[in-house]
Amino acid sequence: MSACYFSTIDLRSGYWQIPVEPSDAHKTAFSFGAEYGLFEFKVLPFGLTEAPVTFQRLMNSLFSDMPFVCVYLDDIIVFSRSKDEHWHHSEAVFRALADARLTVNSDKSVFSLEEISYLGYIFDRNGMRTDPAKTNVIIDYPIPTCVKDVQKFLGIANYYRRFIKNFAGIARPLHNIVKKNDTFVFTEECLKAFNELKKCLVSPPTLSYPDSRINFSVSTDASNKAVGAVLEQNGKAISFASRALSPTECKFSTYELECLAIVYALKQFRQYLLGKKFQLFSDHEPLKWLLNNKSRNGRVGRWVMQLQEFDFDIIYRKGSENSRSDFLYRLCS
């Protein structure tokens, strides 16, 4: 269901608002030198191995009964369909924070906006898209001159892979050059992949919000280099997913690759699809009889067993009509 109003709330020195159990304080001890002696934290310190998990667990417990709230550590987003609803939602959030004795950093919080930036994304009533302030780092990224440069670029671009059709297929040459132990050579193929990823992030699609009241559909496809899928509702993309094939998988038959694409897609989108009836579109006609496969032996048989937890129909759609998923062949060939 689409949200129209958003607020983001930042907690002041998040970790330091969590007291440490006195009996555990000695575990945080540190020293500046013999002349100053030992110090122990009374609050949760930054850098402690369990600090992020402990803090996230607290936040999850505070807002577990509030479906209009998402939390990543000390960054909270509240979303609502109307202003009045948003006022009530915000009040509930502040009450929960007050009960837990957590204070808000008002300088870094924004309230009741129709468009908001959160964790590198822009959210509005139409859906989610990339934040230009963040993607400009990728667009302005210079041509890599060493393996570390490629790794940094892939690390940044990977954060937005859900917006890019066949990210794995496009980025494959860059991943290959990172794996090699030979002298670094940024080939023409690498440059093409590098520029293609930049191009995809200049005008990425807006991903719609999933609505549990509307049926989902999944389109899958495979090439000899990658498999990919797109999750949709009413023809609007919810998320893209793709991954490169391993050397062993590259030897699979076309039928096996198309089956692998289905298994991969349903695993990626499991949280949306489990317990719901949906349609799966493929441009490989023999897959129409996949679920009627009586043989449970071999690789395909094991995959069919994995798919039994889902309720779906496989529908054949010609490649020319399957424009959403038929990007793999065109981009990987």
- pLDDT over 90 for what percent of the chain? 42
- Residue 329, pLDDT above cutoff 70: no
For residue 317, the 8-state DSSP code is: -
Which of 314, 328, 141 has its CA nearest to residue 230?
A: 328
Whether 121 is covered by a domain: the verdict is no
Question: What one-character DSSP code corresponds to residue 43?
Answer: B
- Residue 127: inside a domain, yes or no? no
- pLDDT for the residue numbered 331: 40
pLDDT given at position 167: 86
153-185 pLDDT, tens digit per residue, is: 998 888 888 888 888 888 889 988 887 667 888
Q: Using an 8 Å Cβ cutoff, are 310 and 273 in contact?
A: yes
Chain position carrying tokens 């892979």: 161
Q: Which domain range does residue 51 map to? A: 5-114
User: 275 to each of 168, 209, 278, 310, how far by Cα in Å?
Assistant: 29, 19, 10, 7
For residue 10, the model assigns a pLDDT of 92
CATH of the domain at 183: 3.30.70.270
Residue 29 in domain: yes
Question: What pLDDT digit, counting tens, does each position of 285-322 carry?
Answer: 887 777 776 665 688 888 888 888 999 998 888 765 55
Structure confidence at residue 328 (pLDDT): 45
137 Rama sector, left if φ>0, alpha if ψ -120 to 50, beta otherwise: alpha
CB atoms closer than 10 angstroms to residue 206? 14
Tell me the average pLDDT across 268-297: 83
Say yes or no: 74 and 153 in one domain.
no
Residues 190 and 160 in one domain: yes
Task: Output the DSSP codes for 242-268.
Answer: EEEPPTTGGGS-HHHHHHHHHHHHHHH
Distance CA 32, CA 235 (A): 61
Q: Is 329 a domain residue?
A: no
Number of domains in the chain: 3
pTM assigned to the model: 0.77
Quote the mean pLDDT of the chain: 86
CATH number, position 312: 3.30.420.10
* pLDDT tens, position by position, 15-50: 888 888 888 888 888 887 777 788 888 988 888 888
Residue 151, judged by CB atoms within 10 A of its CB (0-12, 13-18, 19+), counts as: middle
Residue 333: per-residue pLDDT: 43
The reply to whether 272 falls in a domain is yes
